[in-house]
Structure 1
Amino acid sequence: MMDTLHYLVERFGLLAVFIGCMAEGESVAILGGFFAHQQFFATWHVFVVAAVGAFLGDTLFFILGRRYAGHKYVRLLRRRPGFSHAFRLVQEHPNLYVLGNRYVYGMRLVGGIAAGLSRIPLSHFVILNALSALVWAAIFVSLGYVFGLGAEHILGETLKAHHRLVIGLGIGAAVTIAALLVAHHRAKKEPPEKASIDP
């Protein structure tokens, strides 16, 4: 079983990091950084894949908001808690919003839609989004790498491949659960927004 998981991580781990970072990917980027430290992947590979995934994900959400504002999926997203607040922020502080939105867990998807519905030019968004994605990837991949350093310091030379795998998956699960709990708690404090915003 562990050999199979080890093979899957080595074979498809970077693809999983790419896909995960297109959405709410903090835990995936951290996990990628951990596995980079454990030499499953090259660190720069994880950084590039995480940054590109994050960039493409937010760009996709932006285009959905910009090109398909009337689509039922986009209208549904506009009803999610926090959308009105996000739309107001992007109108008032567009540069800071694009640079900082990806750091608010649970807001990246509706945040990208809100940016697409705003007056930000596509070229301007792409530049700011690329800068934000690079910094975001560096931070969260580095956090995972530091987790790897800590695990190695605690467990020493006895850190075998299957121990690395279990610890890494445990870290990923713990970060994901914590982030989901925070997002759920914040969503409960905000009433559902009405989709009455006209871009």
Structure 2
Amino acid sequence: MTGLVHDFVDQYGLIAVFLGCVAEGESAAILGGFFAHQHVFVLWHAYVAAALGAFIGDTSFFILGRRFADHRYVVRLRKRPGFRRAYRLLNTHPNIFVLSNRYVYGMRLVGGVAAGLSTIAVPRFILLNAISSAVWAVLFSTIGYVFGLGAEHLVGQALVRHERLLIGLGIGLAVAVLAWLFAHHIAKKERGKE
């Protein structure tokens, strides 16, 4: 079983990091850094996969808002908690909003669509999104890399490589669950305010 997991991560790990970062993605970027520490792939490859995934994801949400404003999916997103706040912040501080939106868990999708519905110019959004994606990818992948150092010290050198991969998957799952719980809590508070 662990050999199968190891082979899967070897072959598809960077693709999984990329796809995970298209959506919310913090846990995918952290896992990318962790697996880079385990020498499954090179750290800069994890940076690139995470940055491209984040960039493409946010750009897709932007296009969704810009081109399909009346689509039922976009209309439903506009009713989500926090959309009005994101739209208001975007119109008052567009540069800061685009640069920082991905750091607020649970707001990335809503923020991308709100940016698409706003008057921000496409080239400006693309440039700010590229900068933000690169910084975000390096930050969260590096956190995963440091997690790898810490896990190695906690668990010790006695574990073989594929057991460390399972620990990494466990850490990634724990981060994803905690992030989901946090986003759920924030969304619940936002619904109470509206």
Q: TM-score, normalised by structure 2?
A: 0.97
Asked if the contact 2:34–2:144 (Cα under 8 Å) also holds between the matched residues in 1, the reply is: yes
For residues 21-57 of structure 1, give each alpha carbon's deviation from its aligned partner in whole angstroms, at most 9, with x where no partner exists: 0110000100110000000011110000100110010
Offset at residue 192 of structure 1 (A): 8.0
Asked if the contact 1:32–1:144 (Cα under 8 Å) also holds between the matched residues in 2, the reply is: yes
Asked if the contact 1:83–1:193 (Cα under 8 Å) also holds between the matched residues in 2, the reply is: no
Match of 2:9 in 1: 9
- What does 1:91-102 correspond to in 2, within 5 Å? 91-102=91-102
Asked if the contact 1:52–1:133 (Cα under 8 Å) also holds between the matched residues in 2, the reply is: yes
Asked if the contact 1:62–1:114 (Cα under 8 Å) also holds between the matched residues in 2, the reply is: yes
- What does 1:78-97 correspond to in 2, within 5 Å? 78-97=78-97
For residues 145-164 of structure 1, give each alpha carbon's deviation from its aligned partner in whole angstroms, at most 9, with x where no partner exists: 00001112223321311221
Match of 1:197 in 2: none
CA distance in 2 between counterparts of 1:191 and 1:92 reads: 22
CA distance in 2 between counterparts of 1:185 and 1:48 reads: 31
Identity of aligned residues (%): 62
Match of 2:73 in 1: 73
Please give the root-mean-square deviation of Cα atoms over the aligned residues, in Å.
1.3
Structure 1 stretches lacking a partner, 5+ long:
195-199
Match of 1:144 in 2: 144
Match of 1:163 in 2: 163
CA distance in 1 between counterparts of 2:154 and 2:2 reads: 22
Asked if the contact 2:90–2:118 (Cα under 8 Å) also holds between the matched residues in 1, the reply is: yes
User: Is 1:115 equivalent to 2:115 in the alignment?
Assistant: yes
CA distance in 2 between counterparts of 1:6 and 1:192 reads: 45
Runs of 4+ in 1 over 4 A off after TM superposition: none
For residues 37-80 of structure 1, give each alpha carbon's deviation from its aligned partner in whole angstroms, at most 9, with x where no partner exists: 00001111000010011001000000110111011111111111
Match of 1:37 in 2: 37
Pick which of 106-115 and 183-192 moved more. 183-192
Residues 192 and 18 of structure 1, relative CA distance in 2, 3 Å threshold = farther
Match of 2:103 in 1: 103
Asked if the contact 2:69–2:75 (Cα under 8 Å) also holds between the matched residues in 1, the reply is: yes
User: Match of 1:81, SS?
Assistant: coil
Residue correspondences, number = 194
CA distance in 2 between counterparts of 1:54 and 1:110 reads: 14
